[in-house]
């Protein structure tokens, strides 16, 4: 009896176990079926867009084309894709999101300039946007009313009318560069960095940076270069979060792939600098003082003030110094272009003074030389941050959906054989209209280094003015040549050896920089000492450095 009962119970338990197993299997099968269906529908949508958008590689489910990204310099890969598909515009999928890359000057002009009102916004950017400065910064801000406020306030600092007012101290800081190069020419790169940082520091905070050892230079440039790295599409972390955005939702404590990414980290530091400058009644008028005057009117938050002040460094320090290093590289690699520059400068300027902005109209070759510096190895090699259309758009027969990541490939645009034959050769005569090397271009400048439309770099006028002053002065004052080894032979330079960030610069190289004549050397010394005397009104110190600020060594911070 007991045996029969036990057998019945065991049988029942087996039946229940079988039913449970079947039920679990059914649930798992159901979940799997739903997952496959969702994946199929999602991939069908991707393929539907693939057939309507500009041509490009066939995307895979979920990962798109991310696996095809090269480890370095993807802009060269996108240039090659455009040639392969014989199209000015390509589509490349970062995960499930299509990105459109414009590799032609005329297409960029049509979309970004002529349709500026449509392509004025930003797409969703996980790494640089949501995990970075978000909607408190003009650079990453979506197009709208708040963006217009920030753009207006930015023009108070670096608008074209303001930039003209900066010629005096910008010219003097350029004279100090030449003065310093006489003493330590081997440190040309840090002299350029000090110059660029000092100009924007005077504008932003009413205080110059006198020493190349000032930590503001190294720390801020490190941040800018790191930020530039976070704008280059990649298949490793942190940029892999653009392919898999859900990874950004994990708490920092359990997400090592988010290490070093902290929303708004730099804005508090720049706010502290701006507040310090605004409250210092002994310092000259500065952009920071203007920001605090305007803050109540526009309800500016501390993060917004910090981002507006900090953007000056982003727009004018790393990019300007990198452009000048590229200029030195070009002089070393292409010495044949220097003779005509020296002839023009000697004829127009002479040796008793250095060139200034008033000479620009009389120096067409030097002006062309500066344009070629901007074109040959543009610093913002993919044109800054991506654009996004605020509505669906059609270019030729191709569909570009609202919110799509649309990027200008400045490398491809400036290396088009059609507009720039033999593009890797540094040739200022491309910009002289009576030269056989001149070719039409869709804008008057002849380059697209600073971006396009309503998202064009705010610091363009400042950078162009400063680059002309400094390039003209250094061409006038110095012989810039390849370094020589112990055997007396010239050491070659590599015109392709550049960093991989969005704001690229040459990898370190040695060169020789020497004054062109004794009289010019004496003029550089005299003008440098006079410039330092005039600039002394901007002398001053700050109690803040980035490293100390975030270590909490500044009381109350």
* Residues pairing with 484 in the sheet: 490
The closest alpha carbon to 192, from 505, 426, 502, 451, belongs to 505
* Residues 320, 469 contacting (CB under 8 angstroms): no
Compute the distance between CA of residue 161 and CA of residue 201 in angstroms, rounded to an integer.
18
Q: What phi and psi values does residue 506 have, to the nearest 5 degrees?
A: -65, 145
Q: What phi and psi values does residue 168 have, to the nearest 5 degrees?
A: -60, -60
DSSP code, position 400: E
* Helix (H) / strand (E) containing 100: strand 97-102
* Residues 137, 311 contacting (CB under 8 angstroms): yes
Compute the distance between CA of residue 319 and CA of residue 380 in angstroms, rounded to an integer.
8
E strand spans, 364-500 = 393-395, 398-400, 405-408, 478-482
* Residues 274, 309 contacting (CB under 8 angstroms): yes
Q: What region does 227 belong to: left with phi over 0, alpha with psi -120 to 50, or beta?
A: alpha
How long a stretch of residues is the chain? 557
Residue 331 assigned as binding residue: no
DSSP code, position 239: T
List Cβ neighbours of 157 (8 Å cut-off, separation of 6 or more).
Answer: 203, 204, 287, 290, 308, 312, 458
How crowded is residue 24: how many other Cβ atoms within 10 Å of its Cβ?
A: 10
* Helix (H) / strand (E) containing 93: strand 89-94
Q: Both tokens of residue 27?
A: 């649930």
Compute the distance between CA of residue 217 and CA of residue 347 in angstroms, rounded to an integer.
37
- The DSSP string of 258-275 is GTT--TTHHHHHHHHHHH
* Residues 430, 438 contacting (CB under 8 angstroms): yes
Omega before residue 238 within 30° of 0, cis: yes
Residue numbers belonging to the annotated binding site: 457
Residue numbers belonging to the annotated binding site for heme: 457
């Amino acid at each position: 009896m007991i045996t029969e009962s036990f057998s019945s119970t065991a049988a029942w338990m087996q039946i229940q176990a079988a039913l449970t197993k079947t039920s679990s299997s059914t649930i798992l099968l159901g979940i799997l079926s739903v997952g496959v269906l969702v994946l199929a529908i999602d991939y069908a949508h991707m393929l539907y867009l693939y057939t309507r958008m500009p041509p490009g590689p066939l995307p895979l489910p979920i990962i798109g084309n991310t696996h095809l990204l090269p480890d370095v310099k993807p802009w060269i890969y996108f240039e090659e894709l455009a040639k392969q598909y014989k199209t000015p515009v390509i589509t490349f999928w970062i995960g499930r999101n299509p990105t459109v890359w414009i590799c032609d000057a005329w297409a960029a002009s049509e979309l970004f300039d002529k349709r500026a009102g449509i392509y004025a916004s930003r797409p969703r950017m996980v790494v640089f946007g949501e995990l970075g400065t978000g909607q408190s910064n003009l650079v990453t801000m979506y197009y709208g009313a708040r963006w217009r406020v920030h753009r207006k306030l930015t023009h108070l600092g670096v608008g074209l009318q303001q930039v003209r007012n900066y010629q005096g101290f910008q010219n003097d800081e350029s004279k100090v560069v030449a003065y310093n190069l006489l003493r330590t020419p081997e440190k040309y790169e840090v002299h350029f960095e000090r110059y660029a940082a000092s100009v924007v520091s005077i504008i932003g905070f009413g205080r110059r940076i006198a020493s190349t050892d000032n930590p503001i230079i190294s720390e801020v440039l490190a941040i800018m270069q790191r930020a530039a790295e976070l704008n280059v599409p990649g298949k490793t972390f942190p940029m892999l979060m653009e392919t898999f955005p859900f990874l950004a939702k994990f708490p920092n404590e359990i997400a090592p792939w988010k290490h070093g990414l902290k929303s708004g980290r730099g804005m508090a530091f720049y706010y502290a600098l701006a507040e310090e400058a605004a409250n210092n009644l002994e310092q000259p008028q500065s952009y920071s003082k203007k920001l605090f005057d305007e803050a109540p009117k526009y309800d500016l938050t501390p993060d917004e003030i910090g981002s507006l002040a900090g953007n000056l460094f982003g727009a004018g320090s790393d990019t300007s110094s990198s452009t000048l290093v590229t200029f030195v590289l070009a002089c070393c690699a292409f010495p044949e272009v220097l003779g005509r520059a020296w002839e023009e400068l000697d004829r127009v300027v002479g040796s008793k003074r250095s060139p200034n902005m008033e000479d620009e109209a009389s120096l067409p070759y030097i002006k062309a030389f500066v344009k070629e510096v901007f074109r040959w190895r543009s610093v913002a090699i993919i044109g800054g941050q991506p654009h996004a259309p605020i509505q669906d758009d059609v270019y030729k027969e191709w569909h570009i959906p609202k919110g799509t990541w649309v990027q200008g490939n400045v490398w491809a645009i400036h290396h088009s054989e059609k507009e720039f034959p033999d593009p890797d050769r540094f040739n200022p005569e491309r910009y002289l209209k009576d030269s056989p090397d001149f070719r039409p271009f869709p804008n008057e400048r002849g380059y697209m280094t600073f971006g396009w439309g309503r998202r064009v770099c705010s610091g363009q006028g400042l950078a162009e003015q400063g680059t002309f002053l400094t390039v003209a002065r250094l061409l006038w004052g110095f012989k810039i040549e390849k370094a020589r080894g112990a055997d007396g032979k010239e050491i070659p330079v590599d015109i392709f050896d550049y960093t991989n960030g969005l704001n690229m610069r040459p990898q370190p190289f040695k060169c020789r920089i020497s004054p062109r004549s004794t009289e010019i050397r004496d003029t550089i010394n005299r003008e440098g000492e006079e410039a330092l005397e005039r600039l002394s009104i901007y002398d001053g110190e700050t109690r803040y450095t980035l490293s100390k600020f975030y270590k909490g060594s500044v009381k109350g911070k």
